[in-house]
Structure 1
């Protein structure tokens, strides 16, 4: 906690004003500040009242931040970036100064001029130089400018039922590392009978396209590539065909994926929570949902790294209203760094969470490298209340995998790829080559709007 206390003393002494020409207004008489020099910023991402613990933490953090930063006020609001209402909110002056986005959003927002360039305001921001470069690239425009900051990250792997592994004669501490091994493990788990399903996957509401992207990445392919300045579909490839063929064979030849298809995340989590599913593709953050909703134990589940050589990584972050004043942008950066990109607070956050039955020690949010990562790891180990050994296969393997982000215009592409997944999983005689060719043409059309 010494690091936190030291930083508080520095801020109280006004030294924080030296960061990046001052991350806070520091008495600026700009029109965006009140007569007392206080800058008020609107931010979204506040947890809803249906998540009482998270909301309580958030509100407490706002109060603590404002106490340490007496010249900044946080007007927090629920919600995230909704593509259906975003443009209207921006045009009508209703968009928050600092707004929450997923990694699939920034490219389009930057291209359309719907985010502020914050490059000149981030010099000297604590720990920013230790945020992984790939996640900063998500918020970097074609002009090289930085338009936002990440606050969370995930990598997909395999969630698996350790008890079913043991019953099937599989070692739960050595989960599959190739898709052939996944297929063989699914056969042995499916052979247990009593409605047990070896492997399940999503195929609707854009989740099928999302997972197909991860399949293709893991097999060495891409969904889209940029050639000679233009984006084009790239999944009509050996990797794309191998992924669909594996899914087809597991579904129809091995019959280890069950007869019920057109699934989405809630369906598969319910299957895992019932104790009847061996494996499915997901991030470690799925485990608390399963444990809480279906009254399971953390000891029941393990996490494996993605089979193959690459995995899909995604996440979230915040961007800035292009109409926000420099003072609001500086204040927003200060808030984001303090709240989300602050390894000095990890010990405090873990201790607080551990006292409220919140899982500590899941392999999540690997945003940092270097000293920042080491600080977070130390705190997580001290306050861990979930079985660390169950996640060792994921941690060890994930460190060596290429982390690939989602393609541009991802949600539109996923809608197309949903259809590909659905056809393979519901039609035994699905023509894989034709499916890929047709989908590639549609995706090429979607990508014409990307620069």
Structure 2
């Protein structure tokens, strides 16, 4: 499950490949003549912001015009909306699915398994800059044989958002936030002791968000949600890590009283608590900070960002895949569009400079972070010229990023999160909840869900 995504930035120069791909679109003997008069290829893409988002929509439309001017053999038919798993199959069967469509990281595995996305491997093998894209992000779009079905365009990983002022008042060093759950628990006790309605730590437990966060807890403690043995997936959360995570939550809620009496919270509830200045810490990605600042008229200086306590964290993101009915010419044209708009570090300074005109767009957050090598350096240099957020506040997140392994969401994630919501809710609302029984019952339900995964 992704939180609200910030503006996608990215990197490493697929620019050379763009030119290669465009040339191929115009000269391919495999279907290009049938695409349109004069060899022009028209591709439908989604991701167009709605008319209510006036600035974002105008920027998108400007990008289309600029891209088409630079690529006269390609026309973009932009559609509003993103990929909806509930309507995807019907749109594909009815011929209404876009040629290039947006997905979350939870989508590709199932789409590849059901052959509902095109294999783009033959069209990117000559793109040397793909080596700069982080391998673990490309893995999301690959099948077991290494064939590639899409490209990542955004990513995030869960960390710990905290109120720096409350840390200082509680005698904690805001530049040295917790790195273990024991330290989180101690910090929450000191923050709650400030009184005046202050809550040390809050967590989600509703609308699949509890299962989403419990997965992060499991990863941080060395556990897993599900594991694969050959072609079979099995639930893995009924484990030492699962028990430990729930015991921490139980003790913080009932023994320490550092999570407040109000439970069954979700994203807006906790963001409001943080925006009110009455919450010490909660799990979130970097993009939560600008949301709190804008919605509750706070300042960026008030908030810090730490890496996930422990040794692992949950990550997610988004990208684009291609209609399995696409011709080679459409795939090549689609790759040219995705590369130019979303994966083009050479445009980053231009984009950042344009964004810097508005105070509403944060520049310098630690994510998205898609690339290694030259692409990453190009983006870093572009942001350094226009940074408008206190990057030192996020340094604890950056410093420990190499020590915290990022793991993506499990298959059938949303269904599993529904099951784990119930576990989270029981522990946070029932002091006498039986953790062993909760995990055992949830394991049976999860294995039924995972039985359908190939």
Q: Would the aligned equivalents of 1:273 and 1:294 in 2 still touch at CA under 8 Å?
A: yes
* Structure 1 CA distance for aligned equivalents of residues 362 and 330 of structure 2: 34
Count, aligned residues: 440
Q: CA deviation at 1:229?
A: 2.7
Residue among 40, 45, 48 paired with 1:38? 40
1:112 equivalent in structure 2: 114
Q: Would the aligned equivalents of 2:28 and 2:329 in 1 still touch at CA under 8 Å?
A: no
Mark the CA change 1:245 to 1:78 in structure 2 (over 3 Å): closer, same or farther.
same
Q: Would the aligned equivalents of 2:18 and 2:339 in 1 still touch at CA under 8 Å?
A: no
Mark the CA change 1:328 to 1:389 in structure 2 (over 3 Å): closer, same or farther.
same
* 1:374 aligned onto 2:377: yes
2:123 equivalent in structure 1: 121
* Structure 1 CA distance for aligned equivalents of residues 331 and 245 of structure 2: 44
Instruction: Give the stretch that moved more between structures: 138-147 or 351-360.
Output: 138-147
1:226 equivalent in structure 2: 228
SS in 2 for 1:85: helix
* Structure 2 CA distance for aligned equivalents of residues 415 and 23 of structure 1: 46
SS in 1 for 2:214: helix
Q: Would the aligned equivalents of 1:159 and 1:301 in 2 still touch at CA under 8 Å?
A: yes
1:414 equivalent in structure 2: 417
Q: CA deviation at 1:126?
A: 5.6
Q: CA deviation at 1:47?
A: 1.8
Residue among 425, 429, 432 paired with 2:432? 429
1:3 equivalent in structure 2: none
1:102 equivalent in structure 2: 104
* Structure 2 CA distance for aligned equivalents of residues 209 and 393 of structure 1: 26
Q: Would the aligned equivalents of 1:22 and 1:330 in 2 still touch at CA under 8 Å?
A: no
Q: CA deviation at 1:291?
A: 0.5
Give CA-to-partner distance per residue, 1:106-137, whole Å, 9 cap, x none. Answer: 11111111111110011233621110111111
Q: Would the aligned equivalents of 2:32 and 2:41 in 1 still touch at CA under 8 Å?
A: no
1:359 equivalent in structure 2: 362
* Structure 1 CA distance for aligned equivalents of residues 383 and 309 of structure 2: 26
2:312 equivalent in structure 1: 310
Q: Would the aligned equivalents of 1:24 and 1:334 in 2 still touch at CA under 8 Å?
A: no
* Structure 1 CA distance for aligned equivalents of residues 430 and 96 of structure 2: 47
* Structure 1 CA distance for aligned equivalents of residues 20 and 293 of structure 2: 46
SS in 1 for 2:315: strand
2:87 equivalent in structure 1: 85
2:452 equivalent in structure 1: 449
Q: Would the aligned equivalents of 2:18 and 2:335 in 1 still touch at CA under 8 Å?
A: no
Q: CA deviation at 1:30?
A: 2.6
Residue among 183, 192, 197 paired with 1:195? 197
Q: Would the aligned equivalents of 1:17 and 1:26 in 2 still touch at CA under 8 Å?
A: no
* Structure 1 CA distance for aligned equivalents of residues 405 and 435 of structure 2: 27
Mark the CA change 1:425 to 1:25 in structure 2 (over 3 Å): closer, same or farther.
farther
TM-score, structure 1 length as denominator?
Answer: 0.94
Q: Would the aligned equivalents of 1:244 and 1:421 in 2 still touch at CA under 8 Å?
A: yes
Q: CA deviation at 1:32?
A: 4.2
1:134 equivalent in structure 2: 136
* Structure 2 CA distance for aligned equivalents of residues 208 and 17 of structure 1: 45
SS in 2 for 1:417: helix
2:67 equivalent in structure 1: 65
Q: CA deviation at 1:276?
A: 0.6
Q: Would the aligned equivalents of 1:309 and 1:401 in 2 still touch at CA under 8 Å?
A: yes
Q: Would the aligned equivalents of 1:127 and 1:342 in 2 still touch at CA under 8 Å?
A: no
* Structure 1 CA distance for aligned equivalents of residues 333 and 24 of structure 2: 6
> Looking at both structures, which has the greater relative contact order when contacts are Cα pairs under 8 Å and sequence separation is at least 6?
2
SS in 2 for 1:312: strand
Q: CA deviation at 1:27?
A: 7.1
Unpaired segments ≥5 residues, structure 1: 1-6
Mark the CA change 1:386 to 1:23 in structure 2 (over 3 Å): closer, same or farther.
farther
